[in-house]
Structure 1
Amino acid sequence: MHRFTCTERVQFSDTDMAGIVHFSNFFRYMERVEHAFFRSLGFSIVDPAHAGEERVGWPRVHASCDYMAPLRFEEEFECELLVEEVRTKVIRYIIRFWKGDSELAAEGRITAACVRKDPATGKMKAVEIPQRFRDKIEPAPHEMLRRPDRK
């Protein structure tokens, strides 16, 4: 799968004194849609141990967000996750936030590394993405990755 969407609603606690979503909350939204994407594939972001493999984790090594239009209290919006790239040890996502009238409110990017805890040192070490993930996650077509003006 290369695309996942879900609908959210702006909560009062997400907003600033002007009644619009505080910029930092877009990072929470990005994490929520990523977790929902994993669940839709039958995974959890908290990976249980699998036969013959230790668990993996997905720490962020990059996160950014560009803002185009405000989201306001009680407004519904669509979160669209696109898999931008799957490398040997890293997955890159583009996450778009669409207002009800198909206006792009924001566009974020996350890069998550696949890691395992080194039993000897206890430190996280980047590892190859296990095949069970690679079998279900693929990059979106290039035309979907270009930032559109409208849906």
Structure 2
Amino acid sequence: MSRMLVDADAIRALADILTETGLTEIEIAEKDNRIRVVRGGSVVHTAAPAPIAAAPAGTPTPAAAPVDPAKHPGAVNSPMVGIAYLTPDPSAPPFVSEGQSVTAGQTIMLIEAMKTFNQIKAPRAGTLTRFLVTSGDPVEFGEALAIIE
């Protein structure tokens, strides 16, 4: 019978990150060990959706589901978990405004992670058409932050 060792310090650190960022769940994995911390008292059970019958011929089909912004070819995705800020400080103007042209490498926002402010730079030149977050929003790894076209 194998025994799993619990790293209480790692669990406390993850719980602190949940509290700081407002996230409800975080998970880390290293080799054969995995720690998942979930905040909240309710357990959510999911079930497979019921199969959908094909619509009879001549019946209008429902509108297509909205496209996931993270899959947009111009999406700028978060490289980390943290809090997004669109300005260098609360009284300053934003780094970039929607509709503004940006150059590759230009700072478009900050993400605060573990009390460190990380610059998020435009990966390509183009026009920043839309922010998908607002200042103070918690963001997760891989989450779409903005669209540059």
Q: TM-score range by the shorter chain?
A: under 0.3
**TM-score under structure 1 length normalisation:** 0.23
**TM-score under structure 2 length normalisation:** 0.23
Query: Greater helix percent: which structure?
Result: 1
* Greater relative CO, 1 or 2 (CA 8 Å, sep 6+): 1
